[in-house]
């Protein structure tokens, strides 16, 4: 029997939007909480929104150990196809690894995808380590690494606490490393408009180099630097700006 979903981590499915479909994806070890207010902003602007809880997330970290990039992609793809059944064009977006998953969907569905939004999305898997080292660690029986110092994800002290596991599964990171390495090599397959949000104060453990999103995709790309925010910008000081600019972008690309 699986562990119940954490309160606040539940998936979102808002089907009554008429302007188009929006798929939003959360990051590694995190939950839909990261994108909930962002999703509601799109819904209020007239969009149908799907925000799935990725496999192994939002329940128990032990359930995440056996998951891989393929599991996350399968979950995101199901939500994409749910939107595509009702809407001609889909906007995809995500925070951290969620942005990378969204980008892979933009590659897979180049005709249907109207636009891509990425927020602090890296091209290195969490931990930034060598997968061979991870395999060696797994060989010792160790399944997780823990932060020596808990990372700071949000600058605003009034923001809610981020729902996330306090330790990181090692095994899934091997599949993420391979997937993100391949994605970096295929960015030119992204032909839709891209909006890139980059937090000036991002102190996450992942590399946050936005240049590939701006220089290597084939479609038009625009960057907006969030001058007051950390990694989880959807909670932070620039939250209102992020939501407003996202809606503006959606109106422009979806119609």
The pLDDT value given to residue 125: 67
Task: Return the H-helix or E-strand segment holding 33.
Answer: helix 33-44
pLDDT class of 119 with cuts at 50, 70, 90: very high
Cβ contacts of 83 within 8 Å, gap of 6 or more:
21, 22, 23, 48, 50, 90
Look up tokens 């897979």; give the residue. 108
Ranges assigned E (strand) in the chain: 12-14, 21-25, 48-51, 90-95, 113-119, 144-146, 167-169, 194-199, 221-226
What average pLDDT is seen over the chain? Answer: 93
- In CATH, the architecture of 12-254 is 3-Layer(aba) Sandwich (3.40)
Lowest-confidence segment of 103-117, 142-156, 172-186 by average pLDDT: 142-156
Residue 103, pLDDT above cutoff 60: yes
pLDDT digits (tens, 9 = 90+) for 36-57: 999 999 999 999 999 999 999 9
* 54-89 pLDDT per residue, tens: 999 999 999 999 999 999 999 999 999 999 999 999
* Distance separating alpha carbons of residues 92 and 22, to the nearest angstrom: 6
Helices (H), 85-170: 97-108, 131-139
pLDDT (mean) for 145-155 = 82
């Amino acid at each position: 029997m699986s562990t119940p979903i954490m309160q606040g981590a539940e998936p979102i499915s808002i089907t009554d939007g008429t302007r188009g479909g929006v798929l939003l994806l959360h990051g590694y070890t995190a939950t839909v909480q990261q994108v909930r207010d962002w999703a509601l902003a799109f819904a209020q602007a007239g969009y149908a929104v799907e925000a799935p809880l990725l496999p192994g997330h939002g329940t128990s970290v032990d359930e995440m150990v056996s998951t891989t990039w393929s599991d996350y992609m399968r979950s995101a793809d199901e939500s994409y196809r749910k939107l595509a059944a009702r809407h001609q064009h889909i906007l995809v977006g995500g925070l951290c690894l969620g942005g990378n998953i969204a980008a892979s969907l933009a590659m897979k569905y180049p005709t249907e995808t109207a636009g891509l939004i990425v927020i602090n999305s890296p091209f290195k898997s969490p931990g930034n380590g060598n997968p061979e080292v991870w395999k060696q660690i797994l060989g010792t029986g160790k399944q997780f690494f823990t932060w020596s110092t808990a990372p700071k994800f949000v600058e605003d002290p009034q923001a809610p606490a981020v729902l996330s596991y306090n330790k990181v599964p090692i095994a899934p990171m091997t599949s993420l490393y391979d997937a993100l390495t391949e994605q970096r090599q295929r960015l030119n397959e992204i032909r839709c408009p891209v909006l890139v949000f980059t937090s000036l104060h991002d102190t996450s453990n992942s590399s946050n180099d936005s240049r590939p999103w701006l220089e290597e995709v084939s479609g038009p790309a625009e960057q907006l630097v969030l001058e007051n925010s950390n990694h989880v910008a959807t909670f932070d000081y620039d939250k209102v700006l992020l939501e407003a600019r996202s809606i503006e972008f959606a109106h422009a690309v979806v119609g």
